[in-house]
Structure 1
Amino acid sequence: MAVRLGIRTKQLLVSIHVIAVALWFGGTMGMFLLGLYAKNAENGAQLYYTLASMHVIDESMLKYPALATLITGVMLSVWTHWGLFKHYWVVIKFVLTIGTILLGIFFLQDWFSFLLTTAEQLGFSAIQREDFQNTWLSMIVTGSFNLLCLILMTFVTYMKPFGKIKKRES
């Protein structure tokens, strides 16, 4: 028999999950907006400090909240009647969460490090480089995609589309 959560424990876990999602969404939105702002920097210091502010957001409002969202989401799925692979909406959220986290790990982190290092070394002239421009655009597009995923996951949470996953008969 599976472990089931008591009402207070479930409420606590849901609260932690919602707070983590809110932080993750806020951090993603902040990174996106600062990324847009960085493109319009007027000097090297403004460019660098905008990117440095993005680094603070990345470290505090993206990585850990995303991980907390994943962990609490899996715990809530496994320890409630929803299950991790019983309903399409849970699977959709799980796949989108894993996908956005992996995008951050394998792409955004390197792109952001490149932008920050280039701005630190070259100052305002960094913004004129083609590789800087391409990397910046990649971050903006990926940030937009991540925001879209987070918004979609919010709707999926409340709409619970597509019903239960039917078991295949052998």
Structure 2
Amino acid sequence: MTMPPALRKFILVVHIISSVSSLGAVACFLALGLIGLGSADAQTARSPYVAMDAVARLVIVPLVFASFLTGLVQALGTTWGLFRYYWVLAKFLLTLLTAIVLLLQMDGITYVAAAAVEAALSNVDLLDLRHSLVVHAAGGLVVLLLTTVLSVYKPRGMTRYGWRKHQNQRGNRV
């Protein structure tokens, strides 16, 4: 089942906007995390974590899920399919992994933000958790960059399912 062209283009635009915007939002999150880790001033060290919580909840989570859902709609509503090409399946699984890791990180993000608001967060407080936020943000950025590259280059290669489907379609035409 394929979508009408106007709907397909609309979904594609929403997908591109949400995907690229999530990449930018994660880059900002990473920058805030680095500022929080590297600042010697207590106030400057605490304030990024409050902003990181807001950015994660209000920007990153909705954008990642919009990207995931619009990508799924595109895969199921176009001839690309979800299981026909390795690059589509890889993008889907990487985006799903990103969403899962993000949701698992939300408790830690909220915890650090609450600690920053309630007490004077020194450079050594919650250091492992603060490092984890930066490492996960950097990893998320790499994964989002990879999905963007896959979208542009679309490496060749059909899955076994895709190859069988392709052969069946060719057989029906002859």
Query: What's the TM-score once normalised by structure 1's chain length?
Result: 0.89
**What is the percent sequence identity of the aligned residues?**
21
Structure 1 match to 2:111: 114
Does the CA contact (< 8 Å) of 2:47 and 2:116 recur in 1? no
Q: Write out per-residue CA displacement over residues 7-44 of structure 1, whole angstroms, 9 at most, x where no aligned residue.
A: 11111111111111122111100000000011123433
Does the CA contact (< 8 Å) of 2:115 and 2:121 recur in 1? no
Structure 2 match to 1:159: 153
How far apart in 2 are the matches of 1:79 and 1:136? 41
Instruction: Give the alignment partner of residue 7 of structure 1, picking from 5, 8, 22.
Output: 5
The alignment status of 1:128 with 2:139, answered yes or no, reads: no
Structure 2 match to 1:149: 143
Instruction: Give the alignment partner of residue 137 of structure 1, picking from 122, 131, 141.
Output: 131
Structure 2 match to 1:64: 62
What is the number of equivalent residue pairs in this alignment? Answer: 163
What's the C-alpha RMSD, in Å, of the aligned pairs?
1.6
How far apart in 1 are the matches of 2:158 and 2:124? 52
Q: Secondary structure at the match of 2:119?
A: helix
In structure 1, the gaps of 5 or more residues are none
Structure 1 match to 2:75: 77
Does the CA contact (< 8 Å) of 1:34 and 1:54 recur in 2? yes
How far apart in 2 are the matches of 1:79 and 1:35? 38
Query: What's the TM-score once normalised by structure 2's chain length?
Result: 0.87
Q: Secondary structure at the match of 2:3?
A: coil
In structure 2, the gaps of 5 or more residues are 165-174
Does the CA contact (< 8 Å) of 1:44 and 1:119 recur in 2? no
